Structure 1
Amino acid sequence: MVDSIVAATASSANATDSDIAKAKLAEDLDSFLTLLVTQLKNQDPLDPMDANEFTSQLVEFAQVEQQIQQNANLEEILQAQQLSNLGSVVSYIGKYAEVISDQMPLENGASKMSYTLFDNASQTQVTVRNESGTVVHYEQGETSAGTHYMEWDGIDGQGVQHPDGIYQITVSATGPDEVPIEVGYTTFGQVQGVRTDNGDAYLELSNGHFVSLDGVLSVAEPPGGDEDLVN
Structure 2
Amino acid sequence: MDVTGITSTSAQTSAGAANQSSNPISEDFDTFLTLLTAQIRNQDPLAPLDSTQFVEQLATFSSLEQQVRTNDHLESISLMIAELFTSTAGDWVGQDAAVTTSWLPYQGGAVSFTADIPAEADQALMVLRDTAGEVVDTQSLDPAQSPWSWDGKTSKNADAEHGLYQMVIELYQGGQPLGMMEPKIISKVTQASIENGEIMLGFENNMTQSATKVTRVAGE
- Answer whether TM exceeds 0.5 for this pair: yes
The equivalent position to 2:71 in structure 1, one of 68, 77, 86, is 68
Please say if residues 116 and 147 of structure 1, whose CA atoms lie closer than 8 Å, have aligned partners that are also in contact. no
What does residue 157 of structure 1 align with? 155
Q: TM-score, normalised on structure 1?
A: 0.62
Measured in 1, the distance between the counterparts of 2:81 and 2:195 equals 14
Measured in 1, the distance between the counterparts of 2:162 and 2:175 equals 38
| Higher RCO, 1 vs 2 (CA within 8 Å, ≥6 residues apart) | 2
What does residue 203 of structure 2 align with? 205
Measured in 2, the distance between the counterparts of 1:83 and 1:124 equals 40
1:78 aligns with 2:59: no
Number of residue pairs the alignment of both structures matches: 195
What does residue 4 of structure 2 align with? none
Aligned partner of 2:215: which letter? V
Aligned partner of 1:50: which letter? Q
Measured in 2, the distance between the counterparts of 1:136 and 1:113 equals 17
Measured in 1, the distance between the counterparts of 2:27 and 2:59 equals 18
CA-CA distance at 1:132 after TM superposition: 4.5
CA-CA distance at 1:201 after TM superposition: 3.5
1:116 aligns with 2:120: no
Please say if residues 114 and 149 of structure 1, whose CA atoms lie closer than 8 Å, have aligned partners that are also in contact. yes
Aligned partner of 1:52: which letter? V
What SS does the corresponding residue of 2:217 show, helix, strand or coil? strand
Q: TM-score, normalised on structure 2?
A: 0.64
CA-CA distance at 1:58 after TM superposition: 1.6
1:130 aligns with 2:130: yes
Gaps of 5+ in 2: 1-13, 37-46
1:102 aligns with 2:64: no
Measured in 2, the distance between the counterparts of 1:87 and 1:104 equals 25
What does residue 225 of structure 1 align with? none
CA-CA distance at 1:179 after TM superposition: 7.7
Measured in 1, the distance between the counterparts of 2:26 and 2:161 equals 61
Give matches, 1:137-216, under 5 Å.
137-142=137-142, 148-175=146-173, 180=178, 183=181, 185-214=183-212, 215-216=214-215
CA-CA distance at 1:189 after TM superposition: 1.7
* RMSD, matched Cα: 4.1
Gaps of 5+ in 1: 1-15, 37-44, 220-228
What does residue 10 of structure 2 align with? none
Aligned in 2, Cα 1:125/1:159: closer, same or farther, shift over 3 Å? same
Aligned in 2, Cα 1:119/1:87: closer, same or farther, shift over 3 Å? closer
